[in-house]
Structure 1
Amino acid sequence: MGKVLNILFVEDDTIETIKFKRVLKTLDLKHNIIEAINGEAALDLLKTPSLIPDLIIMDLNMPKLSGIEFLNILKQDIVLKFIPCVILTTSGNYRDIKECYEIGIAGYIIKPLKYEDYVERIERLLKYWSTNELISQI
């Protein structure tokens, strides 16, 4: 396995957060997870240099500040814009996908219905990013 990642997981659904953490435990992955319940909370966390992650995994449909709004703010920041962002959502809407890629996301994953498929997608996602060369933000 590659390096241990600091991952900012932005998700307003507690069940989805528990599921994501359970997958990491099942796969025996030791990545550090920083949780934010929405885009606004994530931006607040990103103001603390020691909390700047290697990777952001986020939902699109969130209260207060949507995923799209969060991405637009993030990608305008001179430092934070280099953090790879992967969307993990139920939305297969073509316009959402296109808009996210236009903003500059690194990937878009639609949450599968079957848990086994979810585990497989998360495993492949984290294997890729833990072996990828990332820009240190600190």
Structure 2
Amino acid sequence: MDVLFIEDDTIETMKLQRTVSKLQLKHRITETKNGEEALEVLKSGAKLPDIILLDLNMPRMSGIEFLKVLKADETFKYLPTIVLTTSENRADLLECYRIGIAGYVIKPLKYEDYEEKLKKVFQYWEVNELVKA
């Protein structure tokens, strides 16, 4: 799968890279540090990602602001977007689902728990028919 990973925290990016490597996943990960960079990647004409992993709390353009732009675009609105965040704020959760996300995953503190959650996310999207379409 082609994955667009939108995350401003270097440690979180390293955790994802470590998880993908440890699980021996062959997914191609494109990393961006904020929503503006992610939109540039999407509009660059490169192959669209199969899924987007999105942090909510970012500088310049928050995850929710990014989602609003993404879901308003005819080309990008069907890209499955999974929020990967520390925010347990119910208002954030409900707003993200209202806008049109495919999932909301809370980043656990322990690395082992993070790895297990990411493994399940990737396993689900590897067999999902939308990604194959």
TM over 0.5: yes
Counterpart CA distance in 2 for 1:115 and 1:133 is: 29
- In structure 1, the partner of 2:104 is 108
How far the C-alpha of 1:48 sits from its partner, in A, is: 1.9
Structure 1's consecutive aligned runs of 4 or more residues displaced over 4 angstroms after TM superposition are none
Distance 1:49 1:129 in 2: 23
Residue 127 (structure 1) aligns with: 123
Structure 1: distance between partners of 2:2 and 2:87 = 25
TM-superposed deviation, 1:42: 0.3
Structure 1 contact 71–103 (Cα < 8 Å) conserved = yes
Deviates more, 1:84-93 or 1:44-53: 44-53
Alpha-carbon shift at residue 69 of structure 1 (Å): 0.3
Which protein has greater RCO, CA pairs closer than 8 Å, 6+ apart? 1
Does residue 12 of structure 1 match 2:8?
A: yes
Q: Deviations over 1:88-125 (max 9, x none)?
A: 00000000000000000000000001111100000000
1:50 Cα deviation from its structure 2 partner: 1.9
- Structure 2 residue corresponding to 1:78, chosen from 74, 98, 112: 74
**Length-normalised TM-score, structure 2:** 0.96
Count matched residues.
133
Alignment partner, residue 97 of structure 1 = 93
Q: Does 1:88 align with 2:84?
A: yes
SS in 2 for 1:128: helix
Structure 1 residues not aligned, in runs of 5+: none
TM superposition shift of 1:51: 3.7
Whole-Å Cα distance in 2 between the matches of residues 35 and 115 of structure 1?
20
Is this contact kept in 1: 2:55–2:83, CA < 8 A? yes
**Conserved in 2, the CA contact under 8 Å of 1:82 and 1:135?**
no
